[in-house]
Structure formats: C-alpha cells, structure tokens
Amino acid sequence: MLQTVTPELAQWLAAQRQAGHGDDAILSAMTQSGWTEVSARAALAKPLVILKAPQPTGGTFTAGLPEPAISEGATTLNAGDREVQVLTVMKLPRVVVFGGLLSAEECAQLRALAATRLARSETVQVETGTSEVNEARTSEGMFFGRGENELAQRIEARIAALLHWPIENGEGLQILHYSPGAEYKPHFDYFDPEHSGTASILKRGGQRVGSLVIYLNTPTRGGGTTFPDVGLEVQPVQGNAVFFSYDRPDPATRTLHGGAPVLEGEKWVATKWLRQGRFD
C-alpha cells in the first residue's frame, strides 16, 4: 500500500527532528508503527513537504504557487487583455516587478471609487483573528468585494491570467492611501501558524501564498516597498506592481516587506492577496 506524508505526519516528523532525533531513530519508530522501510525512507527524504505547515481541513487547495510564466530573457508577458513589462526578477524571495499592469485611467478610477470609502487601516489581531487599528500601519484603506464592479472584474481577470492563479482564490482588492509620513512597517502577509487567531482565519481559503501590490500613483518622494532581508526597495511608479510569493508561512521565505514612509506627496496602492483555496 502506498503511504503518503499527511500534514499530521509532516508535523510529527518536524517535531522529532526539532527534539534532536536522528533519521535512524525516526525510521525505527515509523517501521514499528506499520510503515514499510521503503515508504518511511521516502517520507524522510521529502524535506519540502515536511516543512509545510499542516493545512486546515475542509477545502480544496490549488497545487503549487501563483507564478508568472516568464520564459528566459522575456521582457513582456501576456496578461489576457493587456501586455505587461517584466522589470525585475528575483528568485529568493520570489519577487517580480511588473510595468504597466494598469493604465493611468484604471488607476484614477480605482482611486476615485475608493476615496469615499476610506477608513483608518487595521491589522489582524493575532490572538483573536479580528482586526484593530495599529501604529505600525498609518495608512487608510478599504476593500472592494471580489467582482464588485466591472473595473474590479477586469483587473482580477488580468491578475489571474498573469499569475496563473484562480480568481476564486483571491481576496477582494484592497486600496490603501498614505498621506505624508504614513508607512506600513515591515511584516509578513501570511498568517502566523503560532498565533491563536490563525486557525479561524484559515477556514476561509487557507493560507495566503502570494501578494501583488499595485501602485495607483507615483508619490513625489518616498513610499517604496522594501524587502529588508535582501536590501531590495521597489519604487512606486503608477501602473507598476510588485509580486511576491511564499510557499510556507515562514520567515525563511524572506518575504518580510514594508511600505517605507511617504516623504512628499501621497501614495495609493491596490493590494491583491492570493489564497491556497477558494476565498468565499
């Protein structure tokens, strides 16, 4: 019988290793509990599977990660209804900067539609899974419901074509507005499995596995998106976007990132977060 590495077994294996048990001891424990030696050895040889956090039950998840199909040396990509430039590509963290994802008119329309609905941005309260105002995030924001209007539908379809990820797995577009001095301190976009509020958040669509931050204007000065672990700063230019993905909710993905303070002018972005499964 084929024996597979379930999330529970992956968690058990990780705990054995953390406790300092060597592969021989783990192998022996597995064979004593009914594993064939061949299957146990195969399970032990799958480090990436083992590192993955256990996934919540009750949902079907899309395999793999969102990822643009960039053939070697390509400078443009087809995003369905629009051609998009590939400006910067990084492997770890997986970061891709796109040029011209939105037109100037689309940026202006999103800003205008969001303007009357802005409220002080909140962050997720890790213990309970609810949201609260936080000094680390001094922007104001709002969420469009997924597919809420024709513009949101068009942009969501374009993102799905660009990143090869189902529209249904995306959260609604979030619009953020930063005034001079406002910032978003470095953080991870995934939900920390150690926090007690995470389990309830994951029931709806599972983990976040990718983020796309689209710049809706060009601030006069400041407001770049920073990746402190790798010393990268993406300058906010209207219509451009920065994409990054994370295969597990772990700092080893090096996806710590922040919105640097806006020094002059204002900053508008639209963020699209992508989940493992349907986000209904």
Question: What are the residues binding ligand PD2 (CB under 6 A)?
Answer: 176, 184, 189, 211, 213, 225, 257-259, 269, 271
Nearer to ligand PD2, 257 or 275 (CB): 257
Nearer to ligand PD2, 258 or 277 (CB): 258
Minimum Å gap between C-beta 33 and Zn ion is 42
Nearer to ligand PD2, 209 or 213 (CB): 213
225 binds, among Zn ion, ligand PD2, none (CB under 5 to 8 A by kind): ligand PD2
The number of CA neighbours under 13 Å toward the Cβ of 156 is 21
107 binds, among Zn ion, ligand PD2, none (CB under 5 to 8 A by kind): none
213 binds, among ligand PD2, Zn ion, none (CB under 5 to 8 A by kind): ligand PD2
Nearer to ligand PD2, 138 or 276 (CB): 138
Nearer to ligand PD2, 9 or 237 (CB): 237
Minimum Å gap between C-beta 17 and Zn ion is 31
Q: Which residues bind Zn ion (CB under 5 A)?
A: 189
- Name the residue number minimizing CB distance to ligand PD2: 259
Minimum Å gap between C-beta 273 and Zn ion is 8
Minimum Å gap between C-beta 228 and ligand PD2 is 11
Q: How does DSSP assign the chain, residue by residue?
A: ------HHHHHHHHHHHHTT--HHHHHHHHHHTT--HHHHHHHHT-HHHHHSPPPPSSSPBPSS-------TT--EEE-SSSEEEEEEEETTTEEEEEESSS-HHHHHHHHHHHHTT-EE-EEE-TTTS-EEE-TTB--EEEEPPTT-SHHHHHHHHHHHHHHT--GGGBPPPEEEEE-TT--EEEE-SSPPTTSTTHHHHHTTT--EEEEEEEESS--SEE--EEETTTTEEE---TT-EEEEE-SSSSGGG---EEEPPEEES-EEEEEEEEESB---
- Name the residue number minimizing CB distance to Zn ion: 189
Minimum Å gap between C-beta 33 and ligand PD2 is 43
